[in-house]
Each structure stands twice: as structure tokens, then as C-alpha cells.
Structure 1
């Protein structure tokens, strides 16, 4: 039984990152690539009727800027339109990302995602798990069609890492002794490795050297780490109307993030709340105020900015076959999410 519309949210509009183009030809080439990727995603979501198809379409239309497919396109050769292998990879990374979101919402029993009801809330956990599994399978079938075994190996390793990251997050729930390096390892698996793969696949499948693919992969990993740290900052300080989810979700789930790790150093009494399996709204508010009052948000933001600067340094050493200027703008917009 579905519960459409009962979560009270409204989907955030899907918009692409705002980029400054160096030429009309560049804008047309990238925009055309994104349009073709979107067509592939729509085709996947339209393959099945009934609840499964509806669940996939709900995931597809629930906001999002398609940052990962954009990275794939920007790390491909800039002197030619994206070929089918690159388009397949761009679609695959977004399908894998979508699958993880659906599964995460089942595990978290989340009602809202990007301001609208989650698939798990609308259709129930059984349909949501099936939809996530389907999107995962289709991600692999998209990439297999690119015809490059090394790309499939990279993608498979990334998918395994995503699962490992989720297991780490569950194992470390309510663990107030989590250290910064453990947190970073979790972020690498859950977020940064997919950013890295998105970049490397664009380079590999457009015929660039393995060294170039590795270099853009390092850029993507650093961008992904910054992205996750900023996301965790927003969970402690963001506005629901802007983020599409309730502030303090991580506190409620027992996920100890970087701002909380830093806050605990100054306010160890917060540990008692973070250990609770079902904290009250008042408890959550106490932790969020503690995070703000201790300067933990500023420390976490400084760490994220260092990742961005490191990413820019890596990008400067990457080959000139990729879209350096646009990738620089993507790095800046990761910061703008929080500013």
C-alpha cells in the first residue's frame, strides 16, 4: 500500500550546477552530454510498470544536480563529444548513487529525501529494497555495455567500498570514541570513492592514459571528502527548507560525524546523549547547540576547505585534455553548498 504525499514534503527542483562557459561550443557539448545521460536514466526508470517502476521514477525525479555524471563528462577528453562508453559510465555512477540513497533510506527509516517522501515511506521497505537492487543491477549493465573490463573492475571495487562504508557506519553507531581517521575512512568508502570513480571512468573510457585516470581520480576523491564533510556540517546547522531533511538526522541515527567529534573534545558530556538509541528532540537540540558553541563547525569547515585546496593542486597537475576550468568551478560549488 502506497502513502503518496503523506510525508508533507515537496521535491526540490533538479538543477544543474551553474557553470561559466569558455565558449558556446563548450556549453553545448557538456549540456548535450548531460541531456543524453538523463535520457538513459529516464529509460531505465521507465522499463517496468507498477510499483517498481514508480519507485524508480520517484528516485529519479527527487531533486539532485547530477554532480557525479557531470564529473564523468568533464574528465573525458574535452576535444570531442562524449562517446557512448562515457555516457554509459556517467549514467552508471548516477544509478549506483541512486541505489545507495534508496537503500540508505530503508536502513534509516527516513521519511524525507531532498524535501519529498522517500521511496521506502511511499511504497514500503520491500519495494524500496527491490528498487535499489534493480538500480544497482542496471548500473552494472550500463557499464558492462561500455566494453572495458578495467572500468568494470573499478566500478565493482567502488560498489564494494560503498557497502563497506555502510557497514562501518552501522558498526560505529553511537560510538563516541570514533576518531577522525575512522571518520575519514568511512567517508572515503561511502562518498569519496564514487566521486573518484566518476572522474577516473570519464578519463579511461575516452581513451586517456591510466596515469591521467588515476590523477583525476585523486581529484575526485578529495572533492568527495569535502562534499561529505560539508554535508555533515549542514546536518548540524542547515535549514530543512534548503537541505530537504530535518537537521540533526545524524544525531538521531547515532552517526558520529566530524563536527560531533570536535564538539566532544570540548564538551565530553554530550557523549551521554550521543549514546542514547532514541534521543528526544530536546537531546538533539542540545547536541546541535554544543556543536555550534564549541567552534566545531568552523574546525570541520576548515578541514573541508583544505580538501578543496588539495583537490585544486591535484587538478593543476592533471593533463590538459580535460575540462580544467569547469572542474575548478565544481570544486568551488562544493564550498558554495555550505556558504
Structure 2
């Protein structure tokens, strides 16, 4: 969602978020301090805190609390990246060695826990019961989503229902949280809060589907990882699930997964090519577009102000996203 950074005001606001994060993380003991700041300095789109700040513009109150909430959201996201990398045994994160490899899994776990604790400390400054309930519930859903993904590695029985449940828990609800917390921070109308949550939710569902499509249709340089990386690691994402309606592709997936579980190093290139050449990619895009249209319907109900059109431009960006 790097389109958001094209807006100068938003870029300045992200600098303020980063200042808050640097200020907090620089007070941590070593090696937590160095590891956390390394991850922060590695960059990223900051899309979740940006969506929080954009959504805060629809309220009437001062936006100070929105900056606190946006910072807490980014800390949770950073923590989830560390946990994801450990689960997947990833080598690189944003072009740099992952925390668990640079240090070890014990330190990486403690860094992730520390980031969550920092986020909770920031949220303690927010005197809003609804915000706390939404925040804690979304943290639980993130954990459930990660568990669903892990438990279904190399499982051919995985269904579309399970795939979308994982996406809801791990991605969509978190982005929905980012939007509604911004609205809560500035005491936006309750109806607007609900609209903004759903906008974030639908954008998150679309974003994850496109992310899974690009795992096949992009290239290694753009994505920073091997093409078909999820499939190689035993994850059945939407393009693969749709392609497996073809018996030949199903058999190839079955054979490769069976051998992978036996510890063999395998060549997935032919299977990846088959999926790319099937109609699964175009069908997956149709799912993504459905969610974008749902988001558009909610955006059209927002007040007529500049941030409404940022959301609409974001839909245009997501529909054409290439990396």
C-alpha cells in the first residue's frame, strides 16, 4: 500500500510515528534494543498506522490518541513479522538477515514479546474500553490465524473456507482494527466507525489474496523471495487451491507434498508453471475484486472529504498492484 506515502502530509505523519517508536525502543536493554531498531529501520510501508491516521480524520476530536494507537498497531505488526519468520525459518526480512538467524530463536522470541508489551503499554494510555476490547480480541485472532496457517501446512484437505478464515484472522481483522481505532481515537460517529472497520477488513481480504497471487505472478527481485515460496513451504494459498480442481495439478501437489514431508529437497518449478498457466490466477483476482468492490461501497458512504478519495485511490492501487 505504498501509494499512501505519495501524500506529503501522510509521509510527515509517519515520521512522527517512527519518532515515537524510536523513542520507546531505544530505551530497551540490549540485545532487544538493537534487534527491534534493526527491524524498524528495515523500512516497510507502514500501511496499518497510516490507515489508522487516515481514519482518524473522520472524527471531531484531537488526533493525539490516534498517534498512540497507530504506534501500538505498528509494534504488533513488527512482532508478528518476527514470529512469522521463526515459524517459516525465513532467511531474509526486507533484504536483511532475520532476527532469529542474526541472534537466535530465544532472543527473537523475547524481542517479539517485548514489542507486544510496548504496544500494550501504549494502549494503556488510551482511556477507551471499546478500543481495549477490540485490540485484545484482534491479538487473539492473529494468534489463531497463525495457528490455522501452521496446522494446515502440507494438508491437501485444506478448503477455501479454511483459507479465508486464516486471511480474516491474520490479515483482514488487523487492518480493520487499524481503521476503527483511528476513528475511535477522534470519537467519530459510531456508524462511521463501523464503516471504517469494514473498509479496512475488505481491503485486508483483497490485499492478502493479491499477495498470494503475486507469489506466483511477480518475480523474485520485486517480491524479495522465491516465486512460489508459499507453495514450496507447504502452504496452499488461493491460486493453488483453485488450480487443484485440475486432477493433474492435484496429483503433482500431492506427490510433492508427500516427498517434502519425507525431508526431500524437491523441484517445484513445473508445478508452479502449471499453476501460472492455469485459469487459477484470473479466478483468484476475481475474489480480490469482489472484496475491493465491497470496500468501495462502504467508502462511498463516507463524508465527502479528502481522506475519502485517498481510500478510493487505494482501491485503484490494489486492483493493479504488481508487488
State if a TM-score over 0.5 links the two structures: yes
Gap change, CA 1:322 and 1:211, over 3 Å in 2: farther
* 1:178-201 CA distance string (max 9 Å, x none): 121211111000111110000000
Gap change, CA 1:209 and 1:80, over 3 Å in 2: closer
RMSD over equivalenced CA pairs, Å: 2.1
Match for 2:254 among 271, 278, 285? 271
Q: How many residues align?
A: 318
Residue pairs, 1:293-308, within 5 angstroms = 293-308=277-292
When structure 1 is superposed on structure 2, of 263-272 and 125-134 the one drifting more is 263-272
* 1:243-293 CA distance string (max 9 Å, x none): 1222222122211100110111112212222343246341x2122112112
Which TM-score applies when normalising by structure 1? Answer: 0.88
Match of 2:317 in 1: 333
When structure 1 is superposed on structure 2, of 138-147 and 211-220 the one drifting more is 138-147
Match of 1:37 in 2: 17
Q: Return 5+ residue gaps in structure 1 as ranges.
A: 1-14, 22-26
Match for 1:315 among 283, 290, 299? 299
Match for 2:228 among 228, 239, 248? 248
SS at match of 2:78: helix
Residue pairs, 1:6-25, within 5 angstroms = 16-18=2-4
Gap change, CA 1:281 and 1:109, over 3 Å in 2: same
Gap change, CA 1:320 and 1:146, over 3 Å in 2: farther
Match of 1:61 in 2: 41
Residue pairs, 1:37-116, within 5 angstroms = 37-77=17-57, 83-116=63-96
Shift of 1:16: 4.9
Contact 2:95 2:224 in 1 (8 A): yes
Which TM-score applies when normalising by structure 2? Answer: 0.92
Q: Return 5+ residue gaps in structure 2 as ranges.
A: none
Match of 1:280 in 2: 265
Separation in 1, partners of 2:312, 2:5: 10
Shift of 1:297: 1.4
